[in-house]
Amino acid sequence: MTEETKTKKAAEDDDADSKSDKGGTGPEVWQQQIVDSGSVTTKTRRGNLHCLTIIGQIEGHMTAAANTKATKYEHVMPLLAALEQSDEVDGVLFLLNTVGGDIEAGLGIAELIAGMGKPTASLVLGGSHSIGIPLAVAAKRSFAVPSAAMTIHPVRMSGTVIAAPQTYHYFERLQDRIVDFVTRNCAIDKENFLSLMMKTGEMAADVGSVIYGEEAVRLGLIDQVGTLSDALNWLYGQLK
């Protein structure tokens, strides 16, 4: 091997090491992460943030229809545990646009988010309906764009329902779990949240309420109206 060849090879090795040290943060890597998991990690001088999307239907033990966008709890739960332990991630941003879904799965994900020690922020975009509300308030700081919508309604259940007092008691206890979680993780009180949940006359053929960005902040459900840059700036501010 000539001296010129050795020099060229050494330069190539140094370039490869440099790219490796940066952790592979280029657009191609980001694109692959998004395709694989609907999430992406970015590394900057201000800190390393992981962005995770929670979209469509929260899928539980039953698989969602083939033509339905879904967030799978068996993917999200271990990812959250890994993010909490990772030395390469300083904070997590959750982008929400969900129609709700499985109560147990959604509440389980929300409990994991609420239990994270790292800075976390949620940003409600199109909507965060039903069990998506606990997911929105679980982060340490919640944001909603002005056009964001949040639908609050009583617990629903599909499939066979046995007309017995025990069924009603189960529904009531399940709803209490959701109400308790929401009121523990945001500024709204139980009485106001229940009144929104049981409101009549607002939703056609249904019971509940639809509230939007600024109203959600006024009610104490969301911390502040904001955009992507607001959520990112808050997270970076927590890393100082």
Spatial neighbors of 38 by CB under 8 A, at least 6 apart, are 52, 53, 55, 71
50 classed as catalytic? no
Query: What is the DSSP annotation of 209-223?
Result: EEEEHHHHHHHTSSS
For residue 113 the two structure tokens come to 């988010």
The active-site residue, picked from 153, 169, 195, 209, is 153
Are the CB atoms for 149 and 100 separated by under 8 Å?
no
H-only helix segments in the chain:
3-21, 27-37, 73-85, 103-114, 132-138, 165-185, 190-197, 213-219, 228-238
Total Cβ atoms within 10 A of residue 211: 21
**CA pair distance 40, 194, nearest whole angstrom:** 36
Total Cβ atoms within 10 A of residue 57: 22
153 classed as catalytic? yes
The active-site residue, picked from 39, 122, 130, 142, is 130
Q: Is 14 helix (H, G, I), strand (E, B) or coil?
A: helix
**Active-site residue list:** 130, 153
